[in-house]
Amino acid sequence: MPPYICNYNENYTTCTESQYYNQSPRVHRNRWNRNNRSRNQSRPFESGYSLDPHFPCVSREIREKWLINLTEEYIPDDVLDVACLGKKFGVPIIRKKDIPVSNIIASIESNMNIIEKDQRNAIRSICVDVISNFLRQRVTPRFPQLLEKVKAAKIFKISHPDIIFLKADKGNVTVAVNKKFYVSKMSELLGDSFTYRIIRSDPTLDIQKKVNKLLVKWYKNNFINDAEKSRLWSRNGHIALSYGQPKIHKKNIPFRMIVSFIGTPTYRLAKYIQRILTDCIKEEIKSFTSNKVSITNSLSLVKKIRSLHLPEDFAMISMDVISLFTNIPLALVISGIKSRWKLLKKYTKINQELFIEAVILCFNASAFQFNGIKYQQVFGAAMGSPLSPIIAEIVLQDLENFCMKKLDFPVYFYTRYVDDVLAFVPKDRIQSILSCFNSYHKRLQFTLEREENCRINFLEVTLIRNKRMIDFDWYRKPTSSGRYLNYYSHHPKGQKICTIYNLIDRGLLLSNLEFHLKNLTYIQESLVQNGYPRKLVLRAVSRRQALVLNPKNYYSDDFRRHRRINEHRWVTLPYVEGLSETLQSNLQGFRFSLSFRNDSNLRWLFTGHKDKLPRENQLNTVYKISCLECKFIFIEHTKRSLGDRIKEHYLSLRQPHNFPISNRLTEHAFRYAHDFDFKGVEVLAVESNYEKRELLSLIYKERYLPQIDGSGDRISEVSIYSGLFNP
Query: Comparing 232 with 479, which gets the higher pLDDT?
Result: 232
Given a cut of 50, whether residue 596 has pLDDT beyond it is: yes
What integer pLDDT is reported at residue 726 of this predicted model?
61
- Give pLDDT, residue 286: 78
92 close to 178: Cβ distance less than 8 angstroms: no
pLDDT of residue 20: 30
Give the tens place of pLDDT for each residue, 155-172.
999 999 999 999 999 889
Residue 32 has pLDDT above 90, yes or no: no
pLDDT of residue 77: 92
- Annotated domain spans of the chain: 204-474, 615-725
| pLDDT at residue 704, rounded to an integer | 82
Rounded Cα distance, 401 and 415, in Å: 12
Beta-carbon contacts of residue 392 (< 8 Å; ≥ 6 apart): 324, 325, 328, 381, 418, 419
From CA 706, how far away is CA 714, in angstroms rounded?
A: 9
Residue 73 has pLDDT above 70, yes or no: yes
pLDDT, tens digit, 9 for 90 and up, residues 388-411:
999 999 999 999 999 999 999 989
By the 8 A CB rule, do 315 and 430 touch? Answer: yes
470, β-bridge pairs: 465
Short-list 106, 104, 42, 117, CA closest to 584: 104
With cut-offs at 50, 70 and 90, classify the pLDDT of residue 15: very low
Q: What is residue 274's predicted lDDT score, i.e. its pLDDT?
A: 96
- Per-residue pLDDT averaged across 128-142, rounded? 87
Residue of 616 and 208 predicted with greater confidence: 208
pLDDT of residue 458: 96
Query: Using one digit for the tens of pLDDT, what is the confidence trace for 634-692?
Result: 999 999 899 999 999 999 888 877 767 778 899 899 999 999 999 999 999 999 899 99
**Alpha helix stretches (DSSP H) within 439-533:** 493-509, 516-529
The whole-number pLDDT of residue 348 equals: 94
Measured CA to CA, the distance from residue 87 to residue 97 in angstroms comes to: 22
pLDDT at residue 225 is higher than 90: yes
For 569-718, strand residue ranges (E) read 569-574, 592-597, 621-626, 633-638, 682-686
Q: Over 80: is that where the pLDDT of 358 sits?
A: yes
- The Cα–Cα gap between 637 and 693 comes to 7
What predicted TM-score, i.e. pTM, was given to this entire model? Answer: 0.86
Q: State the pLDDT at residue 459.
A: 94
Identify the pLDDT of residue 554.
55
Q: Does position 4 have pLDDT exceeding 70, yes or no?
A: no
Question: Which residues lie across from 198 on neighbouring strands?
Answer: 375
Mean pLDDT of 402-430: 93
Provide the pLDDT confidence category of residue 592 given band limits of 50, 70 and 90: confident
Please state the rounded mean pLDDT for residues 229-253: 92
Lowest-pLDDT choice from 29-33, 225-229, 283-287: 29-33
Q: What is the mean pLDDT of residues 132-139?
A: 88
What integer is the mean pLDDT of 204-223? 96
For residue 53, the model assigns a pLDDT of 56
Lowest-confidence pick of 276-290, 294-308, 394-408, 528-542: 276-290
Say whether pLDDT at 519 is over 60.
yes
Helices (H) and strands (E) in the chain, counts: 27, 21
- In this prediction, residues 536-549 reach a mean pLDDT of 90
* pLDDT (mean) for 498-522: 95
* Mean pLDDT for the stretch of residues 232-254: 91
Q: Residue 641 CB: number of other CB atoms within 10 A? A: 22
Mean predicted lDDT score pLDDT of the chain: 86
Give the relative orientation of helices 388-406 and 330-339 as an angle to the nearest 10 degrees: 80
Question: What is the reported pLDDT for 145?
Answer: 87
Structure-model confidence comparison of residues 410 and 291, the more confident one: 410
Q: Is the pLDDT of residue 615 over 50?
A: yes
